[in-house]
Amino acid sequence: MKQFEVPTFYRSSILARVKAIRKELDPRKKDFSPTEVNLGSFTFILGRHFGFCYGVENAIERSYKAIAENPGKRIFLLSQMIHNPAVNEDLRANGIEFLQDTQGNQLINFEELSSSDVVLIPAFGTTIKTQNILENLGIDVKTYNTTCPFVEKVWNRSQKLAQGDHTIIIHGKFDHEETKATFSHAQQNGHVLIIKNIQEAAFLAQCIRQEKTRDEFEFFFKRKFTPGFNPSVHLRKIGVVNQTTMLASETQQITEFLRNTLISVYGAENINKHMADTRDTLCYATNDNQTSTLQLLEQRADLAIVVGGYNSSNTTHLVELLDQNFNTYFIKDASEIKGNDISHYNIHHKEMQFKKDFLSNEKRQRIVITSGASCPDSILEDVIKNILKIRYKDQEINELINNFKA
């Protein structure tokens, strides 16, 4: 695996040691059991895989290279590089301006750009329309295109499926940048539909069985399908791909559900003519992080903490998983922990909440802790240190960290 040149302030000495130990013991990454880090009266139970993935490290490396290689030039990011506020704020602090927000709303008009400006494409990729606008302005869209290779893999697979007359079903969030980009690329070759979850897949199954009218289909999936989409024609042959940050298990569940629906209509002996095998499009990093989190569910712990951007899809899914077994706190960074009080984001109510005395008075505390694929290890380390400060002084914390055993 390639080693990226990521700024050292994103790294963590504690977590680097943990990862090095696990790599030595399990070089092929077959063991998804968590790591226990004992620091005084705390046991932090870390997921086997957490933090920056390949695509994020690639995007960050190329972003900082763009800064170093273009002194004096205006540098723009199409939208947030990744869904982590600390990373995006640091890029802003280094002079990078954002052209759009995460919803695609224009912050700076494209007409204000010139061919001498540098524009970075974020890890999520971008739409064909936006790419064409930039190219028509004479802007180089290749040198600093940081689109994740695993997102591009989905695009390439979608193209081949569409060329084989498959309709592309995207499991994703309609308003997410990556899903918009995948939709844009896929529709160049055929018809596309976006579904969010198994409930929408159930409605789609009724459309496949022609139990819903075209009007009902168009009302239910409004703005989520390509022009001219005819469910009675374009749902006879499909392939399911996903927004790479969605739960892989849910994508597989949706795929199997739709596969069984097509079998009920066309027969098992004909299924290969009506459904493509797209398991190879699932992102390995998302799979690894989610599988590691499932292993955390089997642990005995007092609570769980997930660290990452509140608009991060992959991080939100980790919260959803851990919420099944633990009182789970979703925080963006260590600043959310002040003494024994914590401010955290409730994904169900979509609001910040406050919890006083979130740690109990029990002498020993077992805390499950992990982070999303766009969260720097340094932020996770700061969270661990802030928790330690509830019971220990700075000098004691330094001693604990220097002497810890994983």
- Enzyme catalytic residues: 178
Alpha helices per DSSP H over 49-148 = 54-69, 85-93, 128-136
Give me the phi and psi of 368, to 5 degrees please: -75, 135
Helices (H) and strands (E) in the chain, counts: 14, 14
Give me the phi and psi of 280, to 5 degrees please: -75, -5
User: CB–CB of 157/150 below 8 Å?
Assistant: no
Using alpha carbons, select from 343, 355, 350 the residue that is nearest to residue 316.
Answer: 350
Q: How many CB atoms lie within 10 A of CB 79?
A: 22
The tokens for 253 are: 């569940």
Torsion, Cα of 7, 12, 18, 19 (10° steps): -20
Terminal Cα distance for the chain, rounded? 24
- Residue 295's identity, in one-letter code, is Q
Sign of CA dihedral 147, 196, 330, 22: negative
Three-class SS state of 363:
coil
In order of 41, 129, 219, 399, the CA distances from 181 in angstroms are: 47, 9, 23, 48
In order of 8, 16, 96, 126, 175, the CA distances from 130 in angstroms are: 33, 38, 19, 7, 16
Longest dimension (CA), the chain: 69
- Residue 13's identity, in one-letter code, is S
The tokens for 397 are: 């914390």
Three-class SS state of 348:
coil
Give the whole-angstrom CA distance, residue 186 versus residue 154: 9
DSSP code, position 192? E
